[in-house]
Structure 1
């Protein structure tokens, strides 16, 4: 840190959830008491004085994982409920420490989150790469980037639907047009044939048929064991399945026939957008040393300075409240005592969450 204008206040463990705690219990919290003393503002309706605030930049700096996000939310709850003037005056910020460091030779790059990591690997994976279609056409460079991006939404939809069925079955059914509400046997046969292309030797024999109550059923027998994948009416009529079916023509343009992803002499058979993305990410990671930071404590002082503390290089998010009613409702829902609204929020947003496992 720069000792002239930077002070670091370490906070140990998780902060008290002030949404549920009484005022006297909040004041007895060591971490919260330390913050109040450091800021100099006092606390409470009668004693708080924003004019005594010692720092006009208060930066929340937590680990870039799920635990860090939880601690950050607890701190935001404290500031929003007990020191809202810090937010109103624009004094409160959130640091953006990197989750990854990727190195190749003597060159290193820090990447903020999984999205940045994936984008970096994608760029590496399409450099010097070719997607060769069955008719001999070769897709490279910007065109390959465009092909990858075009399949990104389909990949996202397949991954969102994945908890309900095998992603390979979903992908091949989509390309074959078998997610059509008015699906016919020809489309089901086409999807089954595509699944056979992907199967290991002796594990093919896929068939598709219309089941009961609007379901479609794909099945095969492997070493005497019957395997079934059922896409029921709820699945087929879901928003994600309908959007995926709407992309069938674009998907068919690239993936109707087998293609090959080729990079530096290595080949991968491609039958759908998920396979292409996986192949590109795997190739992009070759030759890289990738470090995932579990916490800020894993960085040495120089790394911490250049990624999080250096004013000329760091990234900060200023905390603002644009819609007070919505913010109040969200804090009450996520941090309050009533369980049911929080459960409903989690269920509604679970598929959009990035979770550390």
Structure 2
């Protein structure tokens, strides 16, 4: 087996993750990225955004650029939601940008934390409350924002240090925030074809467009090849003309061997440590 891998003779079939059915037509989608791309293209078809009641429509490439920024930030928030409260992440889009220079302006950063605190608690639904504070720098820590949350009586807290705001992910969020600041005014609405919907935010507009794009089609997520009939299996995974294959490289084999040894070996403690370390990183878990 090692020699087969070294020579590049081992491949793994890559079946599609989704099947999309619209009427009698069926198509297959390889992963979440491709699915989101298809839905976005469909959502923007004949779509327009009127940022206020008198404005001409924002459409075509201009709307597409803005929508792609929004979708990319939503993907970042989805990944980060494993570590940070989703309401906190969403409110960052409506907050002024925190820069490195902001950490030298304690009063400004304290006001920023106060504004975030008000925004989060304005969304309170009885299940959770927030308290946001600025912790000044001391001998052991640099200045940082702390978000305290109590949900169903259980307290927790998250630190937002300088490194959080330096990250590429936060920079993408801040870029979207600058773009959307003051964009949506009174009387704003979106259209798709002959349909129209009044909106109070860009988020509302995108949600409506995606809902319109999903109408009339069924999206099925496959958990395994056993859910496919023989014809589907041939079309998506076996047919040499249409199948997708991933070559197994020696570095993949080494990493896989380490994981199998950890998860299937006789030692309990390494397995427990692996599960505890990676549990919150799971994106899709099929049982």
| Same fold by TM-score greater than 0.5 | yes
Give the structure 2 partner of residue 142 of structure 1: 61
Q: How does 1:273-352 map to 2 (within 5 A)?
A: 278-322=207-251, 328-342=257-271, 345=274, 352=281
Contact 1:173/1:179, CA 8 A, preserved across alignment? no
Matched, 1:253 2:178: yes
SS at match of 2:26: strand
How big is the alpha-carbon RMSD for the aligned residues of Structure 1 and Structure 2? Answer: 4.2
How far is the alpha carbon of 1:110 from its aligned partner?
0.8
Q: Whose Rg is larger?
A: 1
User: How far did residue 100 of structure 1 move?
Assistant: 1.8
Taking the aligned partners of 2:80 and 2:45, their CA distance within structure 1 comes to 30
Q: Contact (CA 8 Å) 1:92, 1:318: kept in 2 or not?
A: yes
TM-aligned CA deviation for residue 316 of structure 1: 1.8
Which structure 2 residues correspond to residues 98-113 of structure 1 after superposition, within 5 A?
98-113=16-31
| Count of residues in correspondence between the two structures | 264
Note if contact 1:99-1:293 (Cα within 8 Å) is conserved in structure 2. Answer: yes
Query: What is the Cα deviation at residue 109 of structure 1?
Result: 0.7
Residue 331 of structure 1: CA displacement?
A: 4.4
Asked if the contact 1:131/1:144 (under 8 Å) is kept, the reply is: yes
Q: What are the Cα deviations for residues 234-284 of structure 1, in whole angstroms up to 9, with x where unaligned?
A: x34454774444345522333223635443323444355xx6665554332
Q: Is it true that 1:86 corresponds to 2:10 in the alignment?
A: no
Structure 2 residue aligned with 1:210, among 133, 146, 155? 133
Residue 249 of structure 2 aligns to a residue in which SS? coil
User: Structure 1 stretches of 5 or more lacking a match?
Assistant: 1-82, 220-224
SS in 2 for 1:265: strand
Deviations 1:10-64 (A, max 9, x none): xxxxxxxxxxxxxxxxxxxxxxxxxxxxxxxxxxxxxxxxxxxxxxxxxxxxxxx
Could you tell me which runs of 5 or more consecutive residues in structure 2 were left unpaired when the two chains were aligned: 137-143
* Residue 190 (structure 1) shift: 4.8
State the TM-score, normalized to the length of structure 1: 0.57
In structure 2, relative to structure 1, the CA distance for the partners of 1:248 and 1:118 (3 Å cut) is closer
Map residues 164-179 of structure 1 onto 2, 5 A cutoff. 164-177=83-96
TM-score, with structure 2 as normaliser: 0.68
Equivalence for 2:81: 162
User: 1:127-167 deviations in whole A, cap 9, x for unaligned?
Assistant: 22223334836432333332233234432332233245432
Query: Which residue matches 2:197?
Result: 266
